[in-house]
Amino acid sequence: MRIHLRPLFSSALLERVAIALSIAALVGGSALAAGEPRQDTLRIGYQKSASLLTLQKAQGTLEKRLAPLNVEVRWVEFPAGPQLLEGLNVGSIDVGHVGEAPPIFAQAAGANFVYIGNDPAAPEAEAIVVPEDSPLKTVADLKGKKVALNKGSNVHYLLVRALEKAGLKYSDIQPVFLAPADGRAAFEKGAIDAWVVWDPFLSAAQRQSNVRILADGTGIASYQRYYLAATKFAQARPDVLRVIYNELEQAGKWVKQNPKDAAALLAPVWGIDTATVEQANSRRSYAVRPAVAGGLSEQQKIADAFFAEKLLPKKINALDVALFKPAA
């Protein structure tokens, strides 16, 4: 059976649009030939979590620094890292910030990206939690239980490693894939037995709900976070990436030197109280550093663990991803 679709636009209209675009291209070409600077747009993917990019959005610092380079900043919000990296993969953003696990899944899916830099380990900023009155006392007690997590995020690796340490396999539990907001709702309703989550959602649950930590990342998963850029953008605008990296360094120092001011600035962005923000920020150093090959050894461990549990479709080499040198 053939299905005939009526064109959305008439051929005459399409012809007029083509002519208009041709004229616009000629005008734009003339402007560039005359020496007028090109206006570029930097699309930054961010999450409402403990990220320096979120702080920079609130402060408006990047807009000021990039204006002399004739670069406009556009912010695009994502619920979590896997969705953000999907946006990077399909070309809807140029730069983003995620936990340690999403780049592994993105690399396995063939995404082209560059590591700009990373935040050092913050193992206490993620944890497996249960209700305070839960009969579950150890990670080993999770066998056969429903455990909520954001699929492909940093806590996915925490869960795999915690189960392994407790003598269990990933297949021994019932994973329930939920974004942080939905995970908390399911947790408070008693629809799941445990929840694996990161800050500031972890701090919010600790301060606002009766929760108990079964295990955090200490001695299990370091929980580093990475700043990434699409390969094409990194190749086209290394000057912009250098500005971003320098501003990240300055923002990280400011947060640690001004914890209360930072919390007051981020609280309305995250939609939580300042005390919770300050607690979440206290678990991170925010000491941004360049991504180096030696520092990706943990990424390789994550990739190997996911492949062993059949969570990755193929083995990958974490060192196959390019590293941006901010001082170049």
Query: pLDDT per residue over 285-311, tens digit each?
Result: 999 999 888 889 999 999 999 999 999
Rounded distance between C-alpha atoms, residue 262 and residue 257, angstroms:
9
Quickly state the pLDDT bin for 270 (edges 50, 70, 90). confident
Give 237-260 pLDDT, tens digit per residue: 999 999 999 999 999 999 999 999
- Segment 266-294 shows an average pLDDT of 92
Give 101-139 pLDDT, tens digit per residue: 999 999 999 999 999 999 999 999 999 999 999 999 999
Quickly state the pLDDT bin for 36 (edges 50, 70, 90). very low
Residue 26 has pLDDT above 80, yes or no: no
Q: Which pLDDT score, from 0 to 100, does residue 80 have?
A: 87
Domains of the chain, each with CATH number or no CATH? 40-121+224-323 (3.40.190.10), 123-216 (3.40.190.10)
Type and span of the H or E element at 116: strand 113-119
Type and span of the H or E element at 311: none
Cβ proximity of 76 and 48 under 8 Å: no
Quickly state the pLDDT bin for 328 (edges 50, 70, 90). low
Rounded distance between C-alpha atoms, residue 120 and residue 252, angstroms:
11
- Segment 255-268 shows an average pLDDT of 94
Rounded distance between C-alpha atoms, residue 66 and residue 190, angstroms:
47
Greater model confidence, 135 or 40: 135
Give 188-232 pLDDT, tens digit per residue: 999 999 999 999 999 999 999 889 999 999 999 999 999 999 999
Residue 2 has pLDDT above 60, yes or no: no
Give 55-84 pLDDT, tens digit per residue: 999 999 999 999 999 999 999 999 889 999
* This prediction's pTM: 0.83
- What percentage of the chain carries pLDDT values higher than 90? 77
Residue 5 has pLDDT above 80, yes or no: no
Q: To 5 degrees, how large is the angle CA 60–CA 63–CA 65? A: 110
Residues facing residue 216 across a β-bridge? 127
Q: Which pLDDT score, from 0 to 100, does residue 269 have?
A: 86
Residues facing residue 130 across a β-bridge? 212
Residue 16 has pLDDT above 80, yes or no: no
Q: Which pLDDT score, from 0 to 100, does residue 29 have?
A: 40
Rounded distance between C-alpha atoms, residue 199 and residue 218, angstroms:
15
Highest averaged pLDDT of the listed ranges 27-31, 37-41, 201-205, 291-295 = 201-205
Quickly state the pLDDT bin for 38 (edges 50, 70, 90). low
